[in-house]
Structure 1
Amino acid sequence: MPEGPLADDPVPCRVVVCRDCCCGSAKVIGVDHSAQVARLREATSVTIAACLDVCDQANVIVVRPSAAGRAAGARPVWLGLVNDSAATEDIVSWVRAGGPGVAAPPDVLDLYVFTPPRRVRTAQSDTTG
């Protein structure tokens, strides 16, 4: 169950985790992929997506804003190369604080943010709402 300011938000911040050909596989070594997903699920709802088609950024996590975040103008934030537990903890902290549009992300997450090609953003939006 999410904690923090948006625990009662009818549409809380959500996370999409890519898990297919590269992300979440043995191609990204040294990461406990199951533990990463479990840790994110402690903070919010997690959707496991098939390949998001940005394999050069594996492991990819998309942080989707809550209803309050969307009302504030926030858009989904794409994070790539999330391959260590410290980055996962930073995402958990941010999501618990409210996520995009509600809380500023930890500064270090700027290193992980990327903009996927438009076709990828559009396809992901169509499949996960």
Structure 2
Amino acid sequence: MDRETYDKGLEIRRSVLGAEYVDASINNADDFTRDLQDLVTTYCWGAVWGRPGLDKRTRSFLNLAMISALNRPHELKLHIRGALNNGITRDEIKEVLLQVGIYCGVPASIDSFRVARAVFEEEDAKA
């Protein structure tokens, strides 16, 4: 593992997903999942999110669409919070999810809207 890329990935991952979530994921890793946490932090967050070609906001837009299309609600919930942290508005999230409905199927869009609504309700309860 490249320590510099890992450290960059950890910084980006914490800034998008929140330090509390990321630190819990890493600290709760065991012998079975530790390598996965290292892989995700190094390559997903450090090597890809850390590239200069796209800003975090744009990467969040892409993730929302792809994760919705793949129908991965747990990851979508996490990345909706990340998108909000990266300055994407609720209306922009709605537009992404509508676009998913047209190009990836209405069931994926409906499920994604459910997840987004739950995240918004949780965020509103914190305020």
What's the TM-score once normalised by structure 2's chain length? 0.32
More helix by share: 2
More strand by share: 1
Higher relative contact order (CA 8 A, sep 6+): 1
What's the TM-score once normalised by structure 1's chain length? 0.31
